[in-house]
């Protein structure tokens, strides 16, 4: 029987398990990436493993998130990361070189290899034929130490593309269409493999926009074949030597097939406050906007910015709109600076901001109170922009620029004649902001600023867990709800005691006080609990506050793994109606938990306040049970050495 592309790459990297959906598999990791906001923790964890040099083919540490330096913390972290990279055999991409996913695609991605990154949008490199997966920092630390990555074998969905995108309809509209159909929880436990005749006309950067935002489907990853487009892109990056053809075998089997006719798509828009709240741009056009932002790891390629510049040439940004543009990499910025496109943007009145994540993670450019912000980004969760009552919409750069010029949400098809971007023969290549590891690692001294605090420790779980329900939340709670980001909180990523003060800040201001008074306890969640980012701080900080278990209707993959890695039990209701029975403030007990996890016995929760019992499931593999019983992955690793 023919293999699909996902099966091919998994089988060439398989360490254990069978490629049967739902079974736990372990596979080797060729490359890792970290970014600064998750990287400091990942490297503290790596240091704790006592290994002299990374054991991957390639590891890269990027600085792109914590770029505002309003205090010493972020710069200190950058220096820590640079010295760690020099010492342990890691390449260091300096602040200003670009957003990790964009730079990795340009300079490092290799078709057919595996990449694990401490950022949920790591699947971007799936656009170049890699199996690229986002995970918590601790999983990246283990991979850097040479350990395999464990995951439950996903279902493989073929997204069969046919037809051709019409003028002004873009790759962003393809992924928004998928989000409209599948929703933010529809991809959990799945990989989206793209195929069909429509694939061959999509460029690598268009493919990367689609795989990037596959993260919003909750998918493990997304992948495109490696073909003539891939070869062309790699050649333009001066890396033709790493190209190899890769595609599914004829007759390959899939668990599901989704068909999209590219010719039938229209410009789409995700309305507040979820990336799957999608409708046609034409349905909301005319709405007044205060801000438009172009950039983020979804849409900040050379192509995206050239289109934006061409649309702005000879025009002006609407007087009541603030337009920001943040290029995805220094390569892109340098090229648009040299060819004059940057001048067109500046003349039009755009605010050109740093090559970084910037407004996407609330690092500046918060919209005004109650303001409408239209962004070419991938997430529009409530409050993520830095303004609690802002209304954030997600669109293609084309729709965004049409909107910036008109001052109201606009359908780009009404703008003017289609624009064709002319490409030079090759991209401008200058890797001088990527610092290679030191040839004398023994001489490198790690620079540790005062904000970098040691990792908190967790004890093995006791036989019986008791405590109070500290908080009950609804469906689709994001990691931005649990552990907010933004300019104020992000500098505390290396300091768990300090960052813990902000847990659930935007959901319930009293949460931290309550958790401390009660000496920890439990959380109750709805479906898709913990969707969004890979930030392990959304598990680490609750762990620090004494959270013992989260009982939810279902979990997002990365967050579930992070909970386990930090010794917090992720449990699901056997009967979802019990969610309605249990309340915040109830005292509950999970008796003989350790025994039952080990022996496979049914887990029961005693709600002592309501005097009721109900069943909960865990779906933990034996390995995950051992990790939890040890009090988390670091304790577990220390016992069994990788
Ligand atoms: C995000 O887009 O939410 C982030 C910031 O890139 C996160 C990582 C983090 O919280 O540091 C992600 O997507 O994983
Ligand atoms: Fe950065 Fe935004 Fe991409 Fe996250 S989604 S990596 S914050 S640009």
**Ligand 2 atom closest to Cα of residue 64:** 1
Residues contacting residue 76 through CB under 8 Å, at least 6 positions apart: 447, 448, 449, 450, 451, 452
Tell me, what CATH number does 586's domain have? 3.20.19.10
Task: Please tell me if the CB atom of residue 294 comes closer than 6 angstroms to any atom of ligand 2.
Answer: no
Distance CA 260, CA 159 (A): 7
- Compute, in angstroms, the gap from residue 76 CA to the centroid of ligand 2: 21
Instruction: Judge if the upstream peptide bond of residue 600 is cis by omega within 30 degrees of 0.
Output: no
Give catalytic status of residue 197 as yes or no.
no
What are the tokens at 118?
Answer: 């401490």
Residue 520 lies in a domain: yes
> Can you give the residue range of the structural domain that contains 236?
5-264
pLDDT band for position 636 (50/70/90)? very high
Query: Is the same domain home to 166 and 247?
Result: yes
561 and 136 Cβ atoms separated by less than 8 Å: yes
Strand boundaries in 97-250, DSSP class E: 114-117, 131-134, 149-152, 155-162, 190-195, 221-223
> Which of 264, 295, 311 is at the close of a domain?
264
Please state, as a whole number, how many other Cβ atoms lie within 10 Å of the Cβ of residue 422: 7
User: How large is the average pLDDT for residues 435-460?
Assistant: 96
- Residue from 33, 67, 119, 487 whose mutation best tests the ligand 2 pocket (most atoms within 8 A of CB): 119
CA 120 to ligand 1 centroid distance, Å: 6
pLDDT digits (tens, 9 = 90+) for 259-277: 999 999 999 999 999 999 9
Q: Does ligand 2 have an atom closer than 6 angstroms to the CB of 99?
A: yes
- Kindly report the CATH number assigned to the domain that includes residue 308: 3.30.499.10
Residue 337 and residue 233 share a domain: no
- Domain-terminating residue out of 379, 414, 449: 414
| Any domain includes 141 | yes
- Is the domain of 95 the same as that of 177? yes
Give the Å distance between the CA of 183 and the centre of ligand 2: 20
Cα 574 to ligand 1 centre (Å): 31
Question: What is the atom index within ligand 1 of the atom nearest the CA of 490?
Answer: 11
Pocket test for ligand 1, best of 34, 38, 382 (most atoms within 8 A of CB): 38
Catalytic site includes residue 533: yes
Q: Is 80 exceeded by the pLDDT of residue 368?
A: yes
Looking at the fold, whether 106 and 120 belong to one and the same domain comes out as yes
- Is 411 tagged catalytic? no
572 lines ligand 2 (CB under 6 A): no
Question: Can you tell me which residue has the tokens 């609990």?
Answer: 529
119 is catalytic: yes
481 and 381 in one domain?
no
Residue 423 forms part of a structural domain:
no
Asked if residue 431 has pLDDT above 60, the reply is: yes
Assign residue 94 a region: left if phi > 0, alpha if psi is -120 to 50, beta otherwise?
beta
Indicate which residue of 30, 36, 76, 119 is catalytic: 119
**Nearest CA among 97, 114, 119 for reference residue 42:** 119
Per-residue pLDDT reduced to its tens digit, 566-599: 999 999 999 999 999 999 999 999 999 999 999 9
Q: What would the mean pLDDT of 590-618 be, rounded to a whole number?
A: 95
Tell how far the Cα of 361 is from the centroid of ligand 1, in angstroms. 7
CA of 574 to the centre of ligand 2 (A): 35
pLDDT at 640: 64
Which ligand 1 atom is nearest residue 119's CA? Answer: 14
In this structure, are 356 and 500 located in the same domain? no
Is 122 a pocket residue for ligand 1 (Cβ < 6 Å)?
no
**382 falls within a domain:** yes
> Residue 418: its pLDDT value, please?
85
Q: Is residue 560 annotated as part of the catalytic site, yes or no?
A: no
The gap from C-alpha 381 to its chain's centroid, in whole angstroms, comes to: 13
Say if ligand 2 is within 6 A of residue 557 CB. Answer: no
For ligand 2, atom 1, the nearest C-alpha belongs to: 357
For atom 6 of ligand 1, the residue with the nearest CA is 119
Considering only CA atoms, which of 112, 190, 145, 188 is closest in space to residue 32?
A: 145
What's the Cα-to-Cα distance from 624 to each of 560, 563, 595, rounded to whole Å? 11, 11, 14
Q: Answer whether 485 contacts ligand 1 (Cβ < 6 A).
A: yes
Catalytic-residue membership of 535: yes
279 and 244 inside one domain: no
Decide if pLDDT at 552 tops 50: yes
Distances (CA, A) of 192 to 23, 109, 195, 210, 351: 18, 19, 10, 10, 36
Q: Is 294 helix (H, G, I), strand (E, B) or coil?
A: strand
Residues 235 and 380 in one domain: no
In angstroms, how far is CA 305 from the centroid of its own chain? 22
Instruction: Establish whether residue 121 lines the binding site of ligand 1, counting it when its CB lies within 6 angstroms of any ligand atom.
Output: yes
Q: Is the CB of 303 under 6 A from ligand 1?
A: no
Please give the share of the chain, as a percent, with pLDDT higher than 90: 97
Determine the distance separating the centroid of ligand 2 and the alpha carbon of 249, expressed in angstroms: 34
Position 350 in a domain: yes
**Ligand 1: centre distance to CA 535 (Å):** 6
pLDDT in tens, 279-293: 999 999 999 999 999
The average confidence (pLDDT) of the chain is 97
Residue (of 314, 277, 279, 311) closest to 292 by Cα position: 311
The predicted-structure confidence for 64-73, as pLDDT tens digits, reads as follows 999 999 999 9
pLDDT band, very low/low/confident/very high, at 639 (cuts 50, 70, 90): confident
* Ligand of minimum distance to the alpha carbon of 300: 2
The number of the ligand nearest the C-alpha atom of 213 reads: 2
- In a domain, residue 444? The reply is no
Tell me if 103 CB under 6 Å of ligand 2: no
Residues 510, 370 share a domain: no
Tokens of 85: 């990279």
Give the residue-averaged pLDDT of 209-236. Answer: 98
- The C-alpha atoms of residue 498 and residue 494 are separated, in whole angstroms, by 9
Give me the catalytic one of 535, 557, 559, 618.
Answer: 535
For a substitution probing ligand 2, which of 208, 324, 378 has the most ligand atoms within 8 Å of its CB? Answer: 378
- 279 and 211 in one domain? no
Sheet holding 190-195, edge to edge: 221-223, 190-195, 155-162, 256-261
The answer to whether residue 642 scores a pLDDT higher than 50 is no
Q: What's the half-sphere exposure (Cβ side, CA atoms, 13 Å) at 80?
A: 25
Contact 299, 209 (CB under 8 A): yes
Tokens 């209701």 sit on residue? 573
Among 65, 271, 303, 559, the active-site one is 65
Q: List % helix, strand, coil for the chain (3-state, nearest 5).
A: 35, 20, 45
pTM beyond 0.75: the answer is yes
Quick one: 69 and 161 in the same domain? Answer: yes
> From CA 433, how far away is CA 203, in angstroms rounded?
26
Residue 175 CA, ligand 2 centroid: distance in Å: 16
Total structural domains in the chain?
A: 3
Does the beta carbon of 296 sit less than 6 angstroms from any atom of ligand 2? yes
Closest CA to 326 of 375, 371, 399: 375
641 pLDDT tier (thresholds 50, 70, 90) = low
248 and 293 housed in the same domain: no
Structural domain contains residue 300: yes
Each residue's pLDDT tens digit, 459-495: 999 999 999 999 999 999 999 999 999 999 999 999 9
- The yes-or-no verdict on residue 417 having pLDDT over 90 is no
């Amino acid at each position: 029987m023919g293999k699909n592309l996902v099966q091919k790459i998994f089988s060439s990297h398989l360490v254990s398990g069978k490629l049967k959906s739902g079974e736990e598999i372990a596979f080797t990791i060729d490359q890792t990436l970290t970014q600064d906001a998750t990287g400091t923790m990942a490297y503290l964890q790596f240091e704790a493993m006592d290994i002299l040099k990374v054991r991957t083919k390639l590891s890269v540490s990027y600085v792109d998130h914590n770029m505002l330096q309003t205090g010493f913390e972020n710069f200190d972290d950058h220096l820590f990361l640079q010295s760690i990279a020099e010492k342990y055999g890691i390449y260091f991409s300096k602040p200003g070189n670009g957003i990790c996913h964009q730079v990795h695609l340009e300079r490092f991605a290799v078709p057919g290899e595996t990449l694990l990154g401490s950022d949920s949008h790591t699947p971007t490199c799936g656009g170049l034929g890699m199996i690229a997966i986002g995970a918590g920092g601790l999983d990246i630390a283990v991979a850097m130490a040479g350990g395999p990555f464990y995951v439950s074998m996903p279902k493989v969905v073929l997204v069969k593309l046919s037809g051709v995108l019409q003028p002004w309809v873009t790759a962003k509209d393809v992924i928004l269409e998928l989000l409209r159909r599948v929703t933010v929880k529809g991809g959990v436990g799945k990989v989206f493999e793209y195929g069909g005749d429509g694939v061959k006309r999509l460029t690598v950067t268009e493919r990367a926009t689609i795989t990037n935002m596959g993260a919003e489907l909750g998918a493990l990853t997304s992948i495109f074949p490696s073909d003539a487009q891939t070869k062309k892109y790699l050649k333009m990056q001066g890396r033709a030597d790493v190209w190899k053809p890769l595609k599914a075998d004829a007759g390959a089997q899939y668990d599901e097939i989704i068909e999209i006719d590219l010719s039938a798509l229209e410009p789409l828009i995700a309305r507040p406050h979820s990336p799957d709240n999608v409708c046609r741009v034409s349905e909301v056009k005319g709405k007044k906007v205060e801000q438009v932002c172009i950039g983020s790891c979804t849409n900040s390629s050379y192509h995206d910015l050239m289109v934006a510049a061409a649309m702005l040439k000879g025009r002006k940004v609407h007087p009541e709109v603030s337009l920001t543009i943040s290029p995805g990499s220094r390569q892109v910025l340098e090229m648009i600076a040299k060819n004059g496109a940057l001048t067109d943007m500046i003349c039009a009145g755009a605010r050109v901001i740093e090559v970084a994540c910037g407004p996407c993670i609330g690092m500046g450019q918060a919209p005004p109170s109650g303001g409408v912000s239209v962004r070419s980004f991938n997430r529009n969760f409530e409050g993520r922009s830095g303004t609690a009552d802002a209304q954030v919409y997600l669109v293609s750069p084309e729709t965004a620029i049409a909107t910036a010029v008109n001052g109201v949400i606009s359908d780009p098809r009404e703008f003017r004649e289609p624009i064709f971007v002319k490409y030079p023969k090759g991209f401008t290549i200058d890797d001088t902001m990527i610092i290679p590891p030191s040839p004398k690692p023994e001489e490198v001294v790690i620079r540790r600023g005062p904000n970098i605090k040691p990792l908190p420790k967790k004890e093995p779980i006791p036989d019986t867990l008791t405590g109070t329900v500290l908080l009950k939340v609804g469906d689709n709670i994001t990691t931005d709800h649990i552990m907010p980001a933004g300019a104020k909180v992000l500098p505390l990523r290396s300091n768990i005691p300090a960052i813990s003060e902000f847990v659930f800040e935007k959901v319930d201001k009293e949460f931290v006080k309550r958790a401390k008074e009660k000496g920890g306890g439990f959380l109750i969640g709805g479906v898709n609990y913990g969707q969004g980012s890979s930030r392990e701080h959304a598990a680490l900080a609750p762990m620090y506050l004494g959270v013992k278990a989260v009982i939810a209707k279902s979990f997002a993959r990365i967050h579930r793994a992070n909970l386990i890695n930090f010794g917090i039990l992720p449990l699901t209701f056997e009967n979802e109606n019990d969610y309605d029975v249990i309340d915040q403030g109830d005292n509950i007990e999970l008796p003989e938990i350790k025994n039952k996890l080990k022996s496979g016995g049914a887990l029961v929760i005693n709600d002592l306040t309501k005097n009721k019992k109900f069943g909960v499931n865990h779906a933990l593999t034996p390995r995950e049970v051992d990790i939890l019983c040890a009090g988390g992955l670091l304790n577990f690793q220390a016992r069994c050495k990788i």
